[in-house]
Amino acid sequence: MSASRLVMQGIGLSKRFGHVVAMDHADFELASGEIMAVVGDNGAGKSSLIRVLSGASVPDEGRVLLDGEEVHFKSPLEARLAGIETVYQELAVATEMDVAQNLFLGRELRKPGWTGQWLRQLDKGRMRAQAVEHMRNLGIRIQSIRQKVDTLSGGQRQAVAVARAAAWGRKVVILDEPTAALGVRETRQVLDLIRRVRDHGLAVVLICHNMPDVFEIADRIHIHRLGRRATVVDPKQVKPNDVVAIMTGALEPDAVPSALIAQEAA
């Protein structure tokens, strides 16, 4: 990787649950404007890593840096306030609300003046106008911004969740299995959307089990094994079988020619 600015780092992260070591001095580095895929076998510690980076869990050891400054997230809300948005596999969309309401969920705009301040009236017109503009900028096609989410397809619901993260994430968007349970066409739409989110200047962390999707969209691949980072590779220079072999322990990272290992940012 070129000497891009690091937007997020995890240094020596450890997390234990009783006698179970979920993370063992794990490292992580994410550069600005890249899609970093995180892959690993079941129980490798991927979820623990993502929970720490997203503020859902506090590490027992180690540090998290955002734009070079150490941060101490005690909740996902604190991470969100710092510019990190997360879309979990279980979509947190309100199906009985429309698309615009979901985009502004928890961040509703109020009318100017005393009607908004004292009567707490929502500025639905402004929210709908901004929602239309945001969805258009991301290339998301939905029949109406007033359409209830429960009438959308699985791919469209995923697009709404990703669009909300992109709307409010100033630095990093973390996506947990965004193409799971989607058909071929819907998967294509979501992958294209993730690219557009990256192209809008956000760094993206993609947790994904689908290796073809990973190799199609990722700029780099972080391979997690036994609670720590095994290596980071360039998908343009390695084969999926090599990544799976490193994930499972059938192949040591050193066995991959050094020219194929993605250079990690200093």
Please say whether the beta carbons of 225 and 234 come within 8 A.
Answer: no
Residue 203 is predicted with a pLDDT of: 97
What is the per-residue pLDDT across 170-221, written as a single tens digit (0 to 9) for each? 999 999 988 887 888 888 888 999 999 999 889 999 999 999 999 999 999 9
Q: Which DSSP symbol is given to 78?
A: H
Please say whether the beta carbons of 160 and 103 come within 8 A.
Answer: yes
Residue 108 is predicted with a pLDDT of: 84
Portions of the chain given CATH number 3.40.50.300 = 6-96+148-260
Cβ-in-10-Å burial (0-12, 13-18, 19+) of 37 comes to: buried
E strands of 59-108, at which residues?
61-66, 69-71, 84-87
HSE, CB side, 13 Å, CA atoms: give it for residue 185: 3
Q: Which DSSP symbol is given to 127?
A: H
12: left (phi over 0), alpha (psi -120 to 50) or beta: left
Residue 95 is predicted with a pLDDT of: 83
Length of the chain as a residue count: 266
Cβ-in-10-Å burial (0-12, 13-18, 19+) of 192 comes to: middle
How many CB atoms within 10 Å of residue 106? 9
Give DSSP secondary structure letters for 164-228.
Answer: HHHHH-SSEEEEESTTTT--HHHHHHHHHHHHHHHHTT-EEEEE-S-HHHHHHH-SEEEEEETTE
- Give the residues of the chain that fall short of pLDDT 70: 1-3, 90-91, 257-266
Residue 114 is predicted with a pLDDT of: 78
**String of b and e for 54-74 (b: at least 16 CB within 10 Å)?**
bbbbebeebebebeeeeeebe
Q: Which residues pair with 233 in a beta bridge?
A: 221, 261
Residue 258 is predicted with a pLDDT of: 57
Q: Which one-letter amino acid corresponds to residue 176?
A: D
Residue 128 is predicted with a pLDDT of: 92
CATH topology of domain 6-96+148-260: Rossmann fold (3.40.50)
**Which pTM does this prediction carry?**
0.87
What is the per-residue pLDDT across 110-136, written as a single tens digit (0 to 9) for each? 888 877 777 778 899 999 999 999 888
